[in-house]
Structure 1
């Protein structure tokens, strides 16, 4: 009984301390200008205290809702959420900025943040090239976020082709489209292993039709060749091989015919 009472008193004391601390902080900020809020928020952002930065940006906007600094705080809020691994909040903040300020000089950055936030667990361009031995391949995951990220970057370069973020967005789009294609390749490999050859051929055919410029096309054609071969669809098999020999005359798949699902020759870092 005494322990329970002591625990309740301790919890009450801690909550009271937090309440007092929060009140003291609010009182200390009463005379802050918009510039002061913005400067302090940026300092927290630099220090990596992203949640603290968000609170200050939001307080700034509530105290000084109009003007250039408030607009910039809204934009920085989206970035702080992104850096704090809160993609949904980052996208919501970016969407809000776009809705409120569609003609702002930096609205292209809001579109860029949306693309980054949905770039599947915040993997950077170097991140997908330098993965650890136990890190899952992005293409092995649900492609929904990859498609969403692709569309966000696409909207950026369509609306702002000369944006300083356009070049990086195009690089990310190129990676994303191959990742989406490889997602279908993983499914086709699975169908081959389960001897569902028609499903495998159809999935591989989708890659060839929808994503022809991607490296995934090479393995897609190989899967089609093997699936049609088992199904004794000789004409379709020969057509797939003909296309493969024209487009990938030096293909590892044509030279050695490895098992479906074997790593392509270019994956040398695994």
Structure 2
């Protein structure tokens, strides 16, 4: 019995020490707990939670800090750290809402660029799926609403604050977002072909060529335009698209060894059987046009972008973690 009591005592002490070491001993402050604390003391306790990555406690206490000291010395800094803590906790919706609120209330704040940056990170994080870490997935085939939002946010960051310490990382993320948005347009264009929506496909291809000019999806955009215009009977526009494709992307899979575009020469809609119509084109007997040259051009584009970014990576000695926490946790 005595040995059992001793073992229970040791286990209890071990758990207490372990919880303290892991930051689990940090508790949410209530209004009564913090009533006797100065703003500075309360803020320093919050920093302990942030340092321990105890995001739930940090979020609760940052909200309490603002309610108790709305015009205090640390009020605005606390709002920025709330954006970050919500982002790190995975509560991206709240992080975006807090960032929007800060931008609206403090548009001239010296660190408002940080609010834009973390908002963009939260929007990017929303685009990921649960299985992305385990299985190879094509992100451009998922809903791109959040990706568009992130692209808009980071574009505004660079437009308003080109010298921001977050600008270099934002530019790299914009490249990835741009490529994803462009590829999504090509996916939609390919979807339109077997359904006979050639004008809609041509418009998608043209949108990529006009708005994502540095994207590796541009050659597919030109190929989409060439094929769609051909099927619409717009030979001059089709020939112009092929001419640009041959001049700039001679290795495109749609071109034969002589540089001739391999048109699908039959109108798919004219070959519909009753089974084709019942299946909405899913069971068509011929393979519809589809363009995806990522195996050819993505690697070339990625290598060029990495080459351009090497110098900026050497110049940027501060880590993203340091920037995110304003150097507090570096």
| TM band (smaller chain) | 0.7 to 0.9
Structure 2 CA distance for partners of 1:132 and 1:254, relative to 1, 3 Å: farther
Unaligned runs of 5+ in 2: 1-26, 263-286, 300-330
Unaligned runs of 5+ in 1: 1-21
**Aligned counterparts of 2:206 and 2:67: Cα–Cα separation in 1:** 54
Q: How big is the shift at 1:33?
A: 2.6
Q: How big is the shift at 1:186?
A: 0.8
List per-residue Cα deviations over 1:166-192 (Å, max 9, x = no partner). Answer: 111112222222221111111011112
**What residue is the counterpart of 1:38 in the other structure?**
43
Q: Which moved more, 1:151-160 or 1:140-149?
A: 140-149
Q: How many positions carry a matched residue from both structures?
A: 241
* Residue of 260, 264, 268 corresponding to 2:294: 264
**What residue is the counterpart of 2:326 in the other structure?**
none
Matches within 5 A, 1:198-209: 198-209=199-210
**Aligned counterparts of 2:73 and 2:228: Cα–Cα separation in 1:** 61
Contact 1:252–1:265 (CA<8 Å) still a contact in 2? no
Matches within 5 A, 1:38-117: 38-117=43-122
List per-residue Cα deviations over 1:178-210 (Å, max 9, x = no partner). Answer: 221111111011112334333322221222222
List per-residue Cα deviations over 1:116-170 (Å, max 9, x = no partner). Answer: 12225266xxx9xxx6573543322233222221221122112211110111111
Q: Compare CA radii of gyration and give the structure with the larger one.
A: 2
TM-score by length of 1: 0.77
Q: How big is the shift at 1:264?
A: 2.4
Structure 2 CA distance for partners of 1:137 and 1:121, relative to 1, 3 Å: farther
TM-score by length of 2: 0.64
**What residue is the counterpart of 1:148 in the other structure?**
149
Over aligned residues, Cα RMSD in angstroms?
2.9
The runs of 4+ residues in structure 1 deviating greater than 4 Å are 22-26, 255-259
Contact 1:219–1:253 (CA<8 Å) still a contact in 2? no
**Aligned counterparts of 1:122 and 1:208: Cα–Cα separation in 2:** 24
